[in-house]
Each structure stands twice: as C-alpha cells, then as structure tokens.
Amino acid sequence: MLDKITVVGAGNVGATTAQRLAEKHLARTVVLVDVVAGVPQGKGLDQWESAPIEGFDTRVVGANDYGPAAGSEVVVVTAGIARKPGMSRDDLVRTNADIVKQVSQQIKATCPDAIIVMVSNPLDVMCWVAKQVAGFPRQRVIGMAGVLDTARYRAFLAEALNVSVADIQAMVLGGHGDTMVPLVSYTTVSGIPITQLLPKAKLDPIVQRARNGGAEIVSLLKTGSAYYAPSSAAVQMVEAIALDRKRILPCAAWLEGEYGLSGMYCGVPCKLGRGGLEQILEVELSSEERKALHASAEAVKQTMGVIAV
C-alpha cells in the first residue's frame, strides 16, 4: 500500500479511477484534484461515505489545488476535454496539451518523485508533453493505452467464442488510436492460438472493432466517452506499481531504440513495478505486425508535430 495517490481530473474517468483505487486499498489516501470548485470535494466525500459499505479505509479527499497532493507516489492524469461525436483523438491535441502542461508543472513542483500514469488523450502525445515539462525519466511517465485496447480486444474475442474473458491472452501495441496493432500472432485462448479457433474472416472484424472501440462508445453515448474500462485499465497499472507486482502489460513508453523506434511514446510490452517502467520487452513480430507498429509510431510523431513543448 502506498501512502498517497493523486488523480487529476474529477470527471467520469478520474472519479471512477479514484473510487476503484480506494476499493482496492492501494493507498492510505486518494486525492482527487480538479479546477471546478466543489466538484472534487463533493465526489471525494461521496466516495468516502461509501467506505463503510464497501469496506475500505482509504481516505478520499477532493481539492482544487495541489497542496493535498504533495508527496504523492503515483499521479494519474485524466484532465482534459473528452472526445465528442465526429472528433478524432488528434482533434484534442492542442487544448489538452495546454492542460497537461499546467498539470505537469504542478506535479513537478509538488510531487517531484511521483510516477505519472497518463490517461488524457491523445494519449501518446500527452505522455510526451508530461515527460518534457516535468523532466522526469522515462521510467516515471507511462501511458495507459494498450491495457485498455487489449481489454476491448479480449472482450470482443470472448464474446465471439462464448468463453471466459479470463482465458483470452492477448496484447495490443502501437499508438492509442486508429493505428493500434492487435498482435494476432500472440493471441491465444488458454494457450490455443486464436487462428485455430476463429477464421480470418471473423477475426479481422474483431481486430477492427478493437481499433474503433473508443469511437464506438462515443457514438452510442452521444455526449461523452468511455470511462468504466479506461479507469479499470489505469488502476491495473497503478496496482502493478503500488504492489510491485512486475506485471507485463502493454503500455505507452518512451522508446530509445526498442523495436527500431526512438523519440516518441508508443505502446509496447512493459514490466511495471515499484520503480514504474522497469523493463521494455522486445518480442518477435511478424513482418506485417512490425510494419504496422512503425506506421502507428509515425502517426504519433505526426501528432507531436502539431504542438510545441
């Protein structure tokens, strides 16, 4: 258990993340920070009042400044505007970059030793903004992308096969967007290659649905975007860090030559522990998967060019 975890942004993703963190007993205190007066305080109080029923002693507090967040060991950043119907992740880049810059400056000042788990979109570029502004090493700025994308992919496969999601092993790499790369060659059902259970004609639409997973929910909700699965994904990463579990999870990491890529964040297999990003695992990819990963990384670089840090 950590002493303190801060969640920046008290919208649907941030508030749900704070509740899940508390219910999993991952810190003595969870601080929910947001600029809107009363909102983080009200949601934090509401969550704390659920503690006697849910059985957690984690104190959830809300704040409009970063004073209560001081010394946090992990900071989950969810701040930013959400996508609206017809809006791509790239449409968000300038507005959310300004928000993440301000947040990163505050984290640097109040939580200089923290590990940042970035959730704000466009995810890979926001990781880069936070790393540049905070000046943290790559081990301490990690993006929640592949965990969510993989969860969607696994859910769709379990549905198609009518099997438990627990038996689907899979990994989605690349940028968090339309160019993400579900690794079919590493997808199994209790060790059985997925290609032995589903023909390509059925598998390809599932892969495409995983790529469009966020947009599908946005189109259904009309006035918002996903938050249950994104919050679960962020908390799985925090749990791996807080409990030093050495989990191998697909996360957005700053690449320095791995997979032949450098100078950008991209989703790759990562070992997460108390030190944050403890290792990037380089796995063998098919020529098609490697080509797709490089194309996804190029898309991230193009979005990086939209802003200056």
- Residue 118: phi and psi, rounded to 5, are -90, 135
Q: Are 128 and 176 in contact (CB under 8 A)?
A: no
Local structure of residue 165 (DSSP, 8 states)? G
Q: Indicate the fold that domain 146-304 takes in CATH.
A: L-2-Hydroxyisocaproate Dehydrogenase; Chain A, domain 2 (3.90.110)
Local structure of residue 47 (DSSP, 8 states)? H
Q: Are 111 and 69 in contact (CB under 8 A)?
A: yes
Check if 176 is active-site: yes
pLDDT digits (tens, 9 = 90+) for 34-93: 999 999 999 999 999 999 999 999 999 999 999 999 999 999 999 998 766 676 656 778
> CB under 8 Å, gap of 24 or more: what pairs does 109-113 form?
109/66, 110/66, 110/67, 110/69, 110/70, 110/71, 110/72, 111/6, 111/66, 111/69, 111/70, 111/71, 111/72, 111/73, 111/75, 113/73
Per-residue pLDDT of the chain (309 residues; tens, 9 = 90+): 999 999 999 999 999 999 999 999 999 999 999 999 999 999 999 999 999 999 999 999 999 999 999 999 999 999 998 766 676 656 778 889 999 999 999 999 999 999 999 999 999 999 999 999 999 999 999 999 899 999 999 999 999 999 999 999 999 999 988 889 999 999 999 999 999 999 999 999 999 999 999 999 999 998 888 999 999 999 999 999 999 999 999 999 999 999 999 999 999 999 999 999 999 999 999 999 999 999 999 999 999 998 877
Distance separating alpha carbons of residues 305 and 96, to the nearest angstrom = 15
pLDDT recorded at residue 85: 65
Domain 2-143 has CATH 3.40.50.720: yes
Buried b vs exposed e over 239-276: b needs ≥16 C-beta within 10 Å?
bbbbbeeebebbbbbbbeeebebeebbbbbbbbbbeeb
- Residue in 61, 176, 255, 303 annotated catalytic: 176
pLDDT recorded at residue 153: 98
Delimit the domains of the chain by residue range: 2-143, 146-304
